[in-house]
Structure 1
Amino acid sequence: MKINKSLLFIAVFLFSSFTIFKDKKDLNIVFIGDSITYGAGLPDRDTQAPPVICAKYLQAEGGFGKVDFSNQGHSGYTTLDWLPGTKAFVDAEAAAKAFANQNTQLIFSIKIGTNDSAMHGTHGAPVSVVDYRANLMAIIDKLLKDFPNSKVVIEHPIWYSPNTYNGSMYLQEGLTRLQTYIPVIDDLAANYKDTNPGRVFIGDTKAFNYFKKNAETDFQHEQGRQGIFYLHPNQKGAVALGNYWGKAIAKVIK
């Protein structure tokens, strides 16, 4: 029997396309964080905040199916504000349970540390490296327990200018402290690799240096008690940060 090669090619193409589409993984993401996650200072945080950009990246560029997310960022929050039992933590868990499709991959993307690093003015600041580690562990352990099929991605914090001083005082001491949290994040992820394989991962590690190099173009220019400071990404910076998060999450899930 003679086979029409053109029809055979079309059939194989359609089958392959269907298989690829069918195999695309859907994601539910809860973003846990601070004002940077929230999108403070952006003209329209509902469309411009980093979690929005991250979800768009994952759906368009990451090769995933439907990506639903909940932005649980809160301005000024430290790891103490996110401990299990706090309103923020309870709300984040409720957001995870509220997703319409509970059969998709659930991810908690965590970026906390900026406000912990402040000299004073935020809850518990300055938070020591030891306490930061203990608090972050308490948060992650509870999420892993309450959502057995979830994955946790810990994003590195991003750089802020050493003259940052708004309602809270950060300055160089805070920036130095912030950088001591990064090895804690890396070490925790390594430890969880042994105790909870395939559950906890390091997310983005590149945005810190990116914002340090591109402060004037990617941060909002905010007037503080020691002049113009850089803390919150502007629209351009929010796109950069969201894409960094998206790339890191895509790499983890794949």
Structure 2
Amino acid sequence: MKKQFILIVILFSINQAFAQHKKTNLNIVFIGNSITQGVQLTDAATEAPPATAVAYLQKQKNLDTVSFSNQGHSGYTTLDFLPGTGTFAKVEEAANAFTNKDALLIFSIKLGTNDSAIQGPHGAPVSPEDYQKNLKTIIDKLLADFPKAIVIFQHPLWYSPNTYNGAKYLQEGLSRLQSYVPMIDELVKTYAATNPKQVFVGDTKAFAYFEKNHLTDLIPENGREGTFYLHPNKKGAEALGRFWGMAINKIIKHNF
């Protein structure tokens, strides 16, 4: 009995050590627009989707430390994040600033809302082909400079078809936004061949969620075409962060 007990203790210790070894550390740079930035939230530092995504990830048993940088900028399009811009330089600075250099570096990208506008944001309207081209240019440079990093695309979010604030979106913009989704998915497939396990599709569910729950999860805003819905409120930001967190964790579990 004593030998059996000792054996059980040894096996338990091995299992615990193995489990500890399997835990993953993450450094995440969130790239996006005002939704990622958390505009109109009382405390964006803790309430914006990147913060709520990390709060979800920190509760997962397969993960250890999760550090992040919110590189969301209100009104920005894919053109604003192209290599050579000051914004892109800040993204790379954020990636280099993490103290744990052994952690898995992730670039989580959610762009497209401003690209889809009829007029207003930089370069809008951006065609689906140019949107995909811009994303590829961004990814290629990130992977060249951070060859061990991975990129995760979160699908863009629904906004009401009467959205018209300083920029003009409307139904035309929403339809264009939806045309970006297959361009993202197609781009990820091409990287599966050239850069295996480096570029992934993340969340695909938030669009439908916010379309269904916009009255409770998005902020009513006064626009030129009446009350429109575009930005998550605190409840919506928490929901979006959970969608992103679940998508990121699923990718980590299945691939790393």
TM over 0.5: yes
Q: Secondary structure at the match of 2:20?
A: helix
Q: Distance in 1 between matches of 2:61 and 2:229?
A: 30
**Matched-pair identity in %:** 58
Q: How does 1:28-107 map to 2 (within 5 A)?
A: 28-61=27-60, 63-107=62-106
Cα drift, residue 65 of structure 1:
0.6
The answer to whether the Cα contact below 8 Å between 2:53 and 2:244 also exists between their aligned partners in 1 is yes
Structure-1-length-normalised TM-score: 0.96
Correspondence 1:150 to 2:134: no
Structure 1 runs not aligned, ≥5 long: none
Q: Distance in 2 between matches of 1:62 and 1:178?
A: 35
User: 1:224 maps to which residue?
Assistant: 223
Cα drift, residue 62 of structure 1:
5.9
Correspondence 1:173 to 2:158: no
Q: Distance in 2 between matches of 1:157 and 1:31?
A: 14
User: 2:126 maps to which residue?
Assistant: 127
Cα drift, residue 58 of structure 1:
1.3
Q: Secondary structure at the match of 2:125?
A: coil
User: Which AA in structure 2 matches 1:169?
Assistant: K
User: Which AA in structure 1 matches 2:2?
Assistant: I
Cα drift, residue 251 of structure 1:
1.3
The answer to whether the Cα contact below 8 Å between 1:30 and 1:70 also exists between their aligned partners in 2 is yes
Q: How does 1:153-232 map to 2 (within 5 A)?
A: 153-232=152-231
Structure 2 runs not aligned, ≥5 long: none
Cα drift, residue 43 of structure 1:
0.8
User: 1:249 maps to which residue?
Assistant: 248
Q: CA RMSD in A?
A: 1.4
Cα drift, residue 130 of structure 1:
1.5
Cα drift, residue 132 of structure 1:
0.7
Cα drift, residue 252 of structure 1:
1.3
User: Which AA in structure 2 matches 1:68?
Assistant: S
Q: Secondary structure at the match of 1:220?
A: strand
The answer to whether the Cα contact below 8 Å between 1:62 and 1:247 also exists between their aligned partners in 2 is no
Cα drift, residue 224 of structure 1:
1.2
The answer to whether the Cα contact below 8 Å between 2:22 and 2:62 also exists between their aligned partners in 1 is no
What is the CA deviation profile of residues 69-120 of structure 1, one whole-angstrom value per residue up to 9, with x for unaligned ones? 0000000000000100111100000100010011110000001100000010
Aligned length: 253
What is the CA deviation profile of residues 126-162 of structure 1, one whole-angstrom value per residue up to 9, with x for unaligned ones? 0111111111110011001110000000110010000
The answer to whether the Cα contact below 8 Å between 2:29 and 2:95 also exists between their aligned partners in 1 is yes
What is the CA deviation profile of residues 207-233 of structure 1, one whole-angstrom value per residue up to 9, with x for unaligned ones? 000000000001011111111111001
